């Protein structure tokens, strides 16, 4: 088990390289047992004014540092994260609840992102292209936007923060980061690592507080030119509306209603493994979690039976115990939401086969636990098959053929991740073409993105931008076209091309 140090508990804003005390506080709880872990600052909008001013000043100098040198700092950050990996993983599980194996994987994702984005410091490729005029050079280059604001959720408190902050920083921006109030320790730990690595003051600023106060202040501050947000569809729409009114660039990742398709020729054992990992990892609290299983009628009963049998072996409890497979829900509000959808499913006529109840775990009676749950006889128009539940709840949907499976997958407002289990290569290529999600897996579950590929989705999942991969740089840079005429005379494009 892990014991927080007094230093780790002492949570403060990090602005202009200084740790700043905030008078107003809120309690943060361990979801495994309901115990208070610490008190987190509840900042007011003045903290954003302070952070924005420090970021604005720091960004001017930081942008002047050659990109390969900026990248060297990210290498240092990656090395420090690697050295502290186990402690970071334990802190993550303590505040978030996900099992320690998954926490280690998430921290590794941040390490990988540091090294990957550090490599971009020696690329940040622009383009050179022939000019239509003689003795004229034409090129384009990436330029930093300036000050960017990132708003991150509690379910992946370090991975998503690195997806956003690392490309922003290597591109020459300064960052103001509002982490989730549920997971403050990861934010402090990453800020400390930046500090230890030697990032200049003001390039990264961490401000704790509510979305209504701090998030709104970030969106409205004139110095912040980009908002990168991960969270709910409802909040994301509000962020997009306000940023649009102010002509700010906004990047949104807003969840999913992801499906695993199991065809009649699938490896059923492999499909069950993929479903278990996708549906019940992080207690179903992933934006890429499998919450729908679309199964061919010929193997529906076999899949259901094997899935039910495998679900019996899922151990539930404190994620710091290495024998546990499913940890707690993040808080009581999360539990209440899952319980609400259990009742909705039953009212709609779905068959609750197993689960559906809040659990009391021995020695963790005040924790927020929920049984892994399976509904069958679900139709694609039911709310439990349409709306994001964010808990360990799976709906089984039977279909007659491949085409019907594709239709069922696509008939939701989200478009983040999808998966198909089949041995038919022709179906594989049709599926990757026709599934309208930003991520497609073949013979694997709906989760497991790698940092060198773009992460994001279509429809209600986002607005076209991507986290991770080289595409993440598009959010935090502007394109500049440069023309150099060395002819010694005036040449007019489109007019003097015949000269």
Residues that are catalytic: 253
CA-based nearest residue to 235, from 388, 343, 97: 388
Number of H helices, E strands in the chain: 14, 23
Distance CA 429, CA 170 (A): 36
CA-based nearest residue to 67, from 125, 7, 9, 22: 125
Residue 167 · residue 476 · CB < 8 Å: yes
What is the dihedral angle through the alpha carbons of 459, 430, 454, 90, rounded to the nearest 10 degrees?
90
What is the dihedral angle through the alpha carbons of 253, 189, 206, 473, rounded to the nearest 10 degrees?
-40
> How far from the centroid of its chain's Cα atoms is residue 246's Cα?
25
CA-based nearest residue to 67, from 1, 12, 122, 5: 122
CB crowding 201-230: b at 16 or more within 10 Å, else e: bbbbbbbbbebebbbbbbbebebbbbbbbb
Distance CA 434, CA 316 (A): 37
């Amino acid at each position: 088990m892990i014991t927080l140090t007094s230093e780790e508990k002492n949570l403060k804003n990090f602005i202009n390289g200084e740790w700043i005390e905030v008078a107003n506080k809120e309690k943060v709880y361990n979801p495994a047992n309901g115990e208070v872990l610490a008190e987190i600052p509840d900042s007011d909008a003045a903290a954003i004014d302070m952070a924005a001013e420090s970021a604005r000043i720091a960004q001017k100098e930081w942008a002047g540092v050659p990109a390969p040198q900026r990248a060297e700092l990210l290498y240092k950050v990656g090395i420090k994260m690697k050295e502290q990996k186990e402690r970071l993983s334990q802190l993550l599980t303590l505040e978030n609840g996900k099992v320690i194996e998954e926490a280690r994987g998430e921290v590794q994702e941040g390490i990988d992102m540091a090294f990957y984005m550090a490599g971009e410091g020696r690329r940040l490729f622009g383009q050179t292209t022939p000019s239509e005029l003689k003795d004229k050079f034409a090129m384009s280059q990436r330029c930093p936007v300036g000050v960017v604001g990132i708003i991150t959720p509690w379910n992946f408190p370090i991975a998503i923060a690195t997806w956003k902050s690392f490309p922003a920083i290597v591109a020459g921006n300064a960052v103001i980061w509002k982490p989730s109030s549920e997971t403050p320790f990861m934010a402090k730990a990453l800020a400390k690592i930046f500090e230890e690595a030697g990032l200049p003051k003001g390039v990264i600023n961490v401000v704790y507080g509510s979305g209504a106060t701090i998030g709104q202040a970030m969106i409205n501050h004139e110095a912040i030119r980009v908002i990168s947000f991960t969270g709910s569809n409802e909040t994301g729409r509000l962020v997009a509306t306000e940023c649009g009114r102010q002509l700010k660039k906004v990047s949104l990742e807003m969840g999913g209603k992801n499906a695993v398709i199991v065809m009649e020729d699938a490896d059923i054992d492999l499909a069950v493994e993929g479903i278990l990992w996708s549906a019940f990892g992080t207690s179903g609290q992933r934006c890429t979690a499998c919450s729908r299983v679309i199964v061919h009628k010929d193997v529906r009963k076999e899949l259901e039976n094997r899935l039910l049998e495998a679900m019996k072996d899922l151990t539930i409890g404190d994620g710091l115990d290495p024998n546990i497979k499913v940890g707690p829900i993040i808080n009581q509000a999360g539990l209440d939401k899952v319980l609400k959808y259990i009742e909705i499913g039953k009212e709609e006529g779905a068959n609750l086969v197993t689960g559906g109840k809040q659990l009391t775990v021995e020695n963790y009676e005040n924790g927020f636990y929920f049984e892994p749950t399976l509904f069958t006889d679900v139709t694609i128009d039911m709310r439990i098959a349409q709306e994001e539940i964010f808990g360990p709840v799976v709906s089984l949907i039977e279909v007659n053929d491949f085409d019907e499976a594709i239709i069922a997958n696509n008939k939701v407002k989200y478009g983040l991740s999808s998966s198909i289990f089949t041995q038919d290569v022709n179906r594989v290529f049709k599926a990757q073409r026709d599934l309208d999600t930003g991520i497609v897996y073949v013979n694997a579950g709906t989760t497991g993105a790698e940092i060198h590929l773009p992460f994001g989705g279509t429809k209600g999942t986002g607005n076209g931008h991507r986290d991770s991969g080289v595409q993440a740089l598009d959010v935090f840079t502007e394109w500049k076209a440069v023309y150099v005429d060395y002819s010694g005379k005036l040449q007019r494009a489109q007019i003097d091309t015949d000269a």
